[in-house]
Amino acid sequence: MVHNDDDDDCVTLAGLSLIAVGPNGDVVGACINGCHEPGDLQQMEADADVCPNPKFRKILKFLAFVDRRADVFGKFPEISKLLEINMVAVADNWRGKGIATALLDRTRSVQHPS
C-alpha cells in the first residue's frame, strides 16, 4: 500500500518521494522523486561531481545527463517547476501486484513542500 499522511503503511520521503510498506512493515517499493526549477541543472552537475560515493555519483551524473538532454525548460518555457520521477523499484516478491502503479498514481498528487 502507498502511504500518505493518513495511512500507516507507507512513508513520504522529503515531501516528494514515496515508499510502499507491506503488512509486516517491510519496504516493498519506492518511488524516488525530485523537484526541479530552471537553473537547477548546474547545481545537480556540481553535486554529482563532489559526491563521495562512486556508485551514487554515477547515478547522479546520469540523472543530470538525462535532464540536460531533455531540456524541458527550454522546450516548455512557460513551465517554472516540475516534479520528476527518478527511480521506481518494487521488491521481487511484490511485483505484479500494482505496487509501482500505486506509487506512480500517488506521485501525481504530490505537492512540492515549498
Q: What is the mean pLDDT of residues 82-109?
A: 93
The answer on 50 and 26 residing in a single domain is no
Local confidence band at 114 (pLDDT 50, 70, 90 cut-offs): low
Q: What is the mean pLDDT of residues 66-78?
A: 94
Neighbour count for residue 38 (Cβ, 10 Å):
13
Neighbour count for residue 100 (Cβ, 10 Å):
18
Q: What is the mean pLDDT of residues 30-38?
A: 89
Residue 56 in this model has a pLDDT that exceeds 80: yes
Whether 92 contacts 102, CB under 8 Å:
no
Q: Which of 80, 87, 93 is nearest to 107 (CA)?
A: 87
Domain count, the chain: 2
* Distance, CA of 18 to CA of 4 (rounded, Å): 9
Report the residue count for the chain: 114
The conformation of residue 88, written as its DSSP 8-state character, comes to E
Average pLDDT, the chain: 85
What distances in angstroms separate CA 20 from CA 12, 37, 52, one per listed residue?
A: 9, 27, 28
The answer on 90 and 107 residing in a single domain is yes
Domain extent for 59: 38-76
The answer on 30 and 5 residing in a single domain is yes
The answer on 44 and 70 residing in a single domain is yes
The structure's pTM equals 0.70
Q: How high is the pLDDT of residue 110?
A: 76
The answer on 42 and 26 residing in a single domain is no
The answer on 1 and 25 residing in a single domain is yes
Neighbour count for residue 30 (Cβ, 10 Å):
21
- Could you report the per-residue pLDDT of 11-28, keeping only the tens digit for each? 444 578 899 999 999 999
The answer on 72 and 45 residing in a single domain is yes
Whether 34 contacts 86, CB under 8 Å:
yes
